[in-house]
């Protein structure tokens, strides 16, 4: 591959001049500039990112660390980040941690040796990111934490307004007439799961409703967790008439478990999701959910990172992205009978 030395030779200028033309680091007389550019074009020269990065102590790489690209919420996040990064000349190195903090650590240590311009991280369980980020920042790289925050995080962050989203979703259930609301949360050491639970509790308390401890179940953010906890909830006496799920994957499990228990959603049990994944439209019944834009999450993180790279050294930024409600068919007015199990279920059309 051609290098700057070739350009310099052919254009009959020095190496330094070629660099100045390419980077605009010093004034270059117009005819010379044109001559160099012409050679660059004709030869199809592209600067070595390695040599450039080595010299500048910074590459055009952004490390993106996420739990698992296979989880349907994350691709949009990655895409949002990639789009903005790409259009600004940056490239993404994608790393999956499977929520394993030792895998995360391995990625963090390895990525450092690429001298990335920055990192966008969805922290793993019990992440040690706070300490690691310190050394990245010392090396002049930005670190933006998204979706959920490790404990003690004081750097830039982009998160959804989980609390208000869950709060409004729960209000919706209450307005529909539900009095016995249960919640199946994600792992509560994750800030997003915790915030959603807080939003739920806030709405329940404000409405003066009781919340028996058995009505709050914690599990993993997946279908299986949702299904097993739902089985448990439906066996309680009295059972809840509505279940608020920590995310859509959990909600998927809830729907399955309701069906397997011989009950019908929304006739006998209402379900509310969170995330508004594409699948929410497809489930039967279509899932009402709190919509948060993963794409915007990722893109905002990239935007903040680019600002940092451009030199912004102001105080930490905490962007909170608002959610919106997507009302579909999984929530209805509850059956009035004390024990819905024995009640003659009457189909009541959900309000749209």
Partner DNA sequence: TCGAATTTTTGAAAGCTTTCAATTAGTACC
Partner DNA sequence: GGTACTAATTGAAAGCTTTCAAAAATTCGA
Using CB under 7 A, list all residues that contact DNA.
1, 3-5, 12-20, 22-23, 25-29, 32-33, 45, 47-48, 51-52, 54-57
Residue 207 is encoded by which pair of tokens? Answer: 């409405």
Which residues, numbered 117-156, are part of the site for a second copy (CB under 8 A)? 139
x/- letters, 256..285, toward a second copy (CB under 8 A): ----------------------xx--xxx-
Q: What angle do CA 73, 74, 75 make, to 5 degrees?
A: 105
172 contacts 327 by C-beta, under 8 angstroms: yes
Q: What angle do CA 46, 52, 58 make, to 5 degrees?
A: 130
- Maximum Cα–Cα distance for the chain, whole Å? 91
Q: Which is nearer to DNA, 32 or 105 (CB)?
A: 32
DSSP characters over 303-339: HHHHHHHTT---S--EEEE--EEE--SS--PPP-SS-
Residue 76 is encoded by which pair of tokens? Answer: 């949009």
Q: Which is nearer to a second copy, 131 or 337 (CB)?
A: 131
- Among residues 15, 51, 337, 338, the one that binds a second copy under rule CB under 8 A: 51
- Part of the chain binding a second copy (CB under 8 A), chosen from 111-119, 153-161, 186-194, 210-218: 111-119
Residue 262 is encoded by which pair of tokens? Answer: 């011989």
Which residues, numbered 2-41, are part of the site for a second copy (CB under 8 A)? none
61 binds, among a second copy, DNA, none (CB under 5 to 8 A by kind): a second copy
- Please report how close the Cβ of residue 7 comes to DNA at its closest, in angstroms: 8
- Part of the chain binding a second copy (CB under 8 A), chosen from 47-55, 184-192, 235-243, 321-329: 47-55
- Part of the chain binding a second copy (CB under 8 A), chosen from 78-86, 126-134, 198-206, 317-325: 78-86
59 contacts 115 by C-beta, under 8 angstroms: yes
Q: What angle do CA 233, 236, 241 make, to 5 degrees?
A: 65
x/- letters, 231..250, toward a second copy (CB under 8 A): --------------------
Distance CA 74, CA 81 (A): 11
Q: Which is nearer to DNA, 18 or 332 (CB)?
A: 18
Interaction of residue 93 with a second copy, rule CB under 8 A:
yes
- Please report how close the Cβ of residue 22 comes to DNA at its closest, in angstroms: 5
- Among residues 115, 261, 325, 348, the one that binds a second copy under rule CB under 8 A: 115
Helix (H, G, I), strand (E, B) or coil at 157: strand
Distance CA 293, CA 299 (A): 10
Strand partners, 158: 146, 319
- Among residues 13, 40, 92, 181, the one that binds a second copy under rule CB under 8 A: 92
If one counts every other C-beta atom within 10 angstroms of the C-beta of residue 50, the result is 10
Torsion angle, alpha carbons of 278, 281, 284, 285, to 10: 130
56 binds, among DNA, a second copy, none (CB under 5 to 8 A by kind): DNA
Interaction of residue 46 with a second copy, rule CB under 8 A:
yes
Binding region for a second copy (CB under 8 A): 1, 46-51, 53-54, 59, 61, 64, 68-70, 72, 74-76, 78-79, 82-83, 86, 91-96, 109-115, 139, 252, 278-279, 282-284
């Amino acid at each position: 591959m051609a290098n700057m030395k070739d350009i310099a030779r052919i254009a009959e200028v020095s190496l330094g001049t070629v660099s100045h033309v390419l980077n605009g680091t010093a004034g270059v007389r117009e005819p010379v500039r044109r001559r160099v550019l012409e050679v660059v074009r004709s030869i199809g020269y592209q600067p070595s990112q390695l040599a450039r990065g080595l010299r500048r102590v910074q590459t055009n790489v952004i490390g993106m660390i996420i739990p698992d690209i296979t989880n349907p919420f994350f691709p949009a996040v990655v895409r949002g980040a990639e789009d903005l990064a790409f259009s600004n000349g940056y490239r993404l190195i994608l790393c999956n941690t499977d929520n394993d903090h030792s895998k995360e650590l391995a990625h963090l240590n390895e990525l450092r040796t690429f001298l990335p311009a920055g990192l966008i991280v969805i922290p793993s369980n019990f992440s040690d990111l706070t300490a690691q980020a310190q050394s990245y920042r010392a090396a002049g790289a930005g670190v933006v934490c998204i979706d959920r925050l490790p404990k003690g995080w004081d750097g830039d962050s982009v998160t959804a307004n989980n609390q208000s989203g869950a709060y409004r979703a729960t209000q919706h259930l209450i307005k529909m007439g539900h009095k016995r609301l249960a919640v199946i949360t994600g792992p509560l050491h994750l800030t997003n799961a915790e915030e959603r639970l807080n939003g739920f509790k806030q709405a329940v308390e404000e409405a003066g409703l009781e919340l028996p401890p058995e009505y709050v179940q914690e599990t993993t953010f997946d279908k299986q967790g949702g299904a097993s906890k739902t089985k448990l909830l439906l066996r309680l006496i009295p059972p809840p008439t509505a279940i608020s799920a920590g995310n859509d994957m959990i909600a998927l499990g809830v729907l399955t478990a309701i069906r397997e228990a011989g009950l019908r959603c929304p006739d006998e049990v209402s379900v509310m999701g969170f995330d508004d994944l594409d699948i929410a439209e497809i489930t039967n019944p279509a899932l009402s959910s709190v919509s948060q834009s993963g794409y915007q999450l990722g893109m905002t993180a990239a935007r903040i990172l680019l600002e940092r790279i451009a030199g912004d050294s102001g105080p930490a930024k905490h962007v909170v992205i608002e959610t919106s409600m997507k009302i579909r068919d999984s929530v209805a007015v509850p059956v009035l009978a004390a024990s819905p199990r024995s009640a003659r279920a009457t189909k009541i059309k959900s309000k749209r």
